């Protein structure tokens, strides 16, 4: 590697093309619903028309949006096995490939939520690399806008006033399904595939002119070469965007968080390929709003605590009922819907939740119910998410409310499917990754204002922010 440093801005201008190409710039497949929606948010608020589909779109659905620059599909892959991925991902990846996007992005969690057995990023890389014939797979997990940083290969995440190395993070280190015990991104993902050769392009290397070969050196037969990209600030983010964009012809398949889109947008703007967009505004306060939460994170617990003091009626949904058969689930849904309608009649907004944080006794009751049943944890979680979706659907229909929030990545996927939503477009921002969207669907759900957020995301007053209509703060 040459030792001659360059100015990042001049490198951008040297590498830049005259304009962005026609057609889709990015197609993405999200391993959960909230993460997939976050990608669409980044592109949309940068001035690039984008849609997120909740399943592979039909030709008729795509025809409604002829000028899309971003096209995404949401999934529940994060909670699934490698066998499920082997069955589901090839056909969806092929469909997205047929759209001929400049970049194909497999969207993963910004805190690497995955393991060899659940949500395997390694297996997704195998499938995507084989299909797209990528020489090297860039991996960009960092997103400084979201306080996600990678430095010399290690991932850090902010929470509250502090920034933690991932394996010491108070939430992710305690994740109930995929606890994070490794902060080195390459090492974490390498455990999920025996075909991967993963290196790191460090902060130091990002400032050199001849770092591009790191993205052009392929591995031996039946091996897959990948490289993680450091990013901690605007300059390194733009450098990562430059590498991804300029390497797209041989390395079209990219893995990462919404940091991929943040990096691309930053690079395009630095190069004059994309004009900065105006800050999006609030859509105004909702007359009525309904919240459902399937998250057990401490962040969600703080949000629920704030909501109790600010005009929300908190209603516990007994998740253990999901393991007790259809009759028990139906009874619990009826009870909770009745309570939600009573809250709305009293001029309060219902907040239906399965737990108030990881230490809520409801979590232990649910775990015990799963162990005593014939269900495994993923299937039980799916049943809970679908039940919350039915609660939300009935409450919206019977109350006339036109704004809703779903908290929890897995919950968002299951719940929105129950609503009959097939697509989302962006309306107003809140925190990065959890905007207010317009729902597209057949029937009453069309036009619903819907916010989806991961359990560990959001300010303490997030639900109130959505009620007020979002917008840049």
Statement to judge: residues 239 and 369 lie in one domain = no
The whole-number average pLDDT for the span 452-466 is 91
Q: In 136-280, where does DSSP find H-type helix?
A: 185-190, 203-206, 234-246, 259-270
Verify that 301 and 261 share a domain, yes or no. Answer: no
Residue 35 in domain: yes
How many whole angstroms separate alpha carbon 229 and alpha carbon 236?
9
* Residue 56 sits in the same domain as residue 113: yes
Q: What is the CATH number of the domain that holds 215?
A: 3.40.50.10840
How many Cβ atoms from other residues are within 10 Å of residue 431's Cβ? 17
Look at residue 297 and tell me if it is in a domain. yes
Q: Nearest-CA neighbor of 462 among 430, 415, 439? A: 430
Instruction: Provide the token pair at 279.
Output: 């800050």
On whether both 179 and 328 belong to a single domain, the answer is no
Residue 275 domain-assigned (yes or no)? no
Q: Check whether residue 310 and residue 196 sit in a common domain.
A: no
Nearest to 42 by CA among 173, 145, 161, 129: 145
Instruction: Name the pLDDT band for 8 (thresholds 50, 70, 90).
Output: very low
Domain with 407, as residue range(s), is: 290-468
* 265 in the same domain as 127: yes
303 closest CA partner among 341, 363, 361, 353: 353
Domain boundary among 214, 235, 270: 270
Q: How many CB atoms lie within 10 A of CB 72?
A: 29
Q: Looking at the 3D structure of the chain, how many domains does it have?
A: 2
Residues 119 and 217 in one domain: yes
Q: Encoding tokens for residue 45?
A: 């608020």
Cα dihedral across residues 310, 427, 112, 408: positive or negative? positive
Window from 6-20, 80-94, 224-238, 242-256 with minimum mean pLDDT: 6-20
SS3 3: coil
25 within domain boundaries: yes
Instruction: Tell me: do 414 and 297 sit in the same domain.
Output: yes
Residues 106 and 246 both lie in one domain:
yes
Pull the structure tokens for residue 231.
Answer: 């990013």
pLDDT digits (tens, 9 = 90+) for 261-297: 999 999 999 999 999 998 889 999 999 999 999 999 9
- Computed over every residue of the chain, the mean pLDDT equals 90
In a domain, residue 371? The reply is yes
Of the given ranges (31-35, 379-383, 390-394, 462-466), which has the lowest mean pLDDT?
Answer: 31-35
CATH for 418:
3.40.980.20
- pLDDT over 90 at 228, yes or no: yes
- Is 285 inside a domain boundary? no
Q: Is 192 exposed, middle or buried (0-12, 13-18, 19+ CB in 10 A)?
A: buried
């Amino acid at each position: 590697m040459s030792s001659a440093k360059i100015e990042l801005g001049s490198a951008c201008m040297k590498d830049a093309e005259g304009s962005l190409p026609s057609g889709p710039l990015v197609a993405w497949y999200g391993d959960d619903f909230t993460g997939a929606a976050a990608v669409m948010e980044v592109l949309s608020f940068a001035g690039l028309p984008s849609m997120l589909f909740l399943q592979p779109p039909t030709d008729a659905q795509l025809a409604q949006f002829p000028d899309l620059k971003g096209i995404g599909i949401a999934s529940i892959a994060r909670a699934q096995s490698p066998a499920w991925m082997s069955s589901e991902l090839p056909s969806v990846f092929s469909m997205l490939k047929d759209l001929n996007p400049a970049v194909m992005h497999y969207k993963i969690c910004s805190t690497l939520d995955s393991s060899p057995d659940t949500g395997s990023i390694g297996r997704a890389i195998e499938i995507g690399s084989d299909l797209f014939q990528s020489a090297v797979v860039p991996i960009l997990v960092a997103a400084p806008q979201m306080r996600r940083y990678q430095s010399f290969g290690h991932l850090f995440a902010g929470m509250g006033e502090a920034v933690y190395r991932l394996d010491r993070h108070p939430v992710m280190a305690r994740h109930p399904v995929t606890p994070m015990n490794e902060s080195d991104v390459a090492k974490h993902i390498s455990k999920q595939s025996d075909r991967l050769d993963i290196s790191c392009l460090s902060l130091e290397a990002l400032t050199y002119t001849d770092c591009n070969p790191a993205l052009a050196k392929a591995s031996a037969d039946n091996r897959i070469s990948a490289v993680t990209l450091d990013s901690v600030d605007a300059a390194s983010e733009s450098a990562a965007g430059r590498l991804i964009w300029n390497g797209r012809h041989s390395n079209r398949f990219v893995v990462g968080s919404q940091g991929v889109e943040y990096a691309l947008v930053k690079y395009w703007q630095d190069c004059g390929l994309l004009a900065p967009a105006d800050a999006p505004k609030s859509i105004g306060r909702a007359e009525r709003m309904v919240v459902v939460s399937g998250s057990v994170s401490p962040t969600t617990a703080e949000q629920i605590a704030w909501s109790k003091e600010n005009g929300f009626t908190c209603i516990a949904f007994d998740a253990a009922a999901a393991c007790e058969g259809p009759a028990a689930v139906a009874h619990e849904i009826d009870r909770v819907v009745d309570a939600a309608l009573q809250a709305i009649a009293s001029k309060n907004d219902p907040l239906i939740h399965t737990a108030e944080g990881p230490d809520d006794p409801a979590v232990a009751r649910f775990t015990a119910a799963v162990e005593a049943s014939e269900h495994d944890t993923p299937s039980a979680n799916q049943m809970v998410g679908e039940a919350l979706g039915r609660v939300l659907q009935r409450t919206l229909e019977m109350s006339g409310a036109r704004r809703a929030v779903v908290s929890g990545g897995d919950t968002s996927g299951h719940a929105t499917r129950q609503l009959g939503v097939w697509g989302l477009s962006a309306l107003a921002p809140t925190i990065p990754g959890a905007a207010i969207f317009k729902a597209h669907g057949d029937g009453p759900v069309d036009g619903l204002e819907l916010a989806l957020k991961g359990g560990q995301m959001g300010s303490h007053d997030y639900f109130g922010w959505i009620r007020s209509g979002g917008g840049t703060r």
